[in-house]
Amino acid sequence: MTDSKNKPRVGFIGLGNMGQSMAGHILQAGYPLRVYNRSRDKAEALLARGAVWCDSPGELAANADVVITIVGYPHDVEQVYLGDNGIVARARGALLIDMTTSSPELAQRIAQAATGQGCSALDAPVSGGDIGARDAKLAIMVGGAQAAFDAVLPILQLLGPNIVLQGGPGAGQHTKMCNQIVIAATIMGVCEGLAYGKAAGLDLPTVLKSIGGGAASGFQLTVMGQKIINGDFAPGFFVEHFIKDLGIALAEAGRMQLDLPALALARRLYEELAQQGHGRLGTQALFKHYEA
């Protein structure tokens, strides 16, 4: 661990599949780290390495120069930032970074509320799942002011190499919607291609050797496709969280009067998958729809 002298105090809220690894990279780099999570047991490994536990988001925010959150749903984001004794109410001149995939409109409201309290806020959702978080290879899409972005860039660089300021508040979330829309259509194509190959009696690992090196190549095919072939449906990103993201994207598309039929179909298929009890599996579990 590097020297923590003169480094800003970082508070991290949300220690799930991704947050635990992300917080660990920040701690390893020598930043004084405070953590909060609804269930304390998920913080124990970080506490053993020197992180400090806080009993509430407000307590954490009052003792941090930079606050990072990655929680579940927009209502969680709203509560942790704008609720009584939440981050905005207790932070003092801090820079707030929400890395949850959430609503662009909510990101704008948080930014406005933060400014009113003398703080700055960035929306900075990520792509790369648990593997990207573990290996510090996340893509980070940021919305907010240039000065705030520049100030926290050294911390964000601990989490991934692809960090882009997309525009003002909400722009990071809109960019993440673009990402999720592309993934939704792509993973349907991967599942359908593999289902076709299976029905045709082909050896799927051999199929993947060919099409994984051609124009169809990409993460969804080569990584998630291999997981499908292996029967590995463990979550890198939960089906239920993907449904949440697709719902946000459809709502925003509707607001912009934009018809996205592949996105609508993907949400319907994933909702059916969740209704069958598969909401806590990974997004590659969509293949189960085609198997059925």
The mean pLDDT of the chain is: 96
- 10 Å CB burial of residue 41 (0-12, 13-18, 19+) is exposed
Got the DSSP string for 9-46?
PEEEE--STTHHHHHHHHHHTT--EEEE-SSGGGGHHH
- Give the Cα separation of 97 and 124 in Å (integer): 6
Q: Model confidence at 6, in pLDDT bands (50, 70, 90)?
A: confident
Residue 75 above 70 pLDDT?
Answer: yes
The residues that are catalytic are: 176
Give me the domains of the chain, ranges plus CATH numbers.
Answer: 10-168 (3.40.50.720), 175-291 (1.10.1040.10)
- pLDDT at 223 (0 to 100): 94
Name the E strands within 144-235: 162-167
Encode pLDDT of 126-182 as tens digits.
Answer: 999 889 999 999 999 999 999 999 999 999 999 999 999 999 999 999 999 999 999
Which pTM value belongs to this model?
Answer: 0.93
The answer, yes or no, to whether residue 267 has pLDDT greater than 80, is yes
The 10s digit of each residue's pLDDT in 104-118 is 999 999 999 999 999
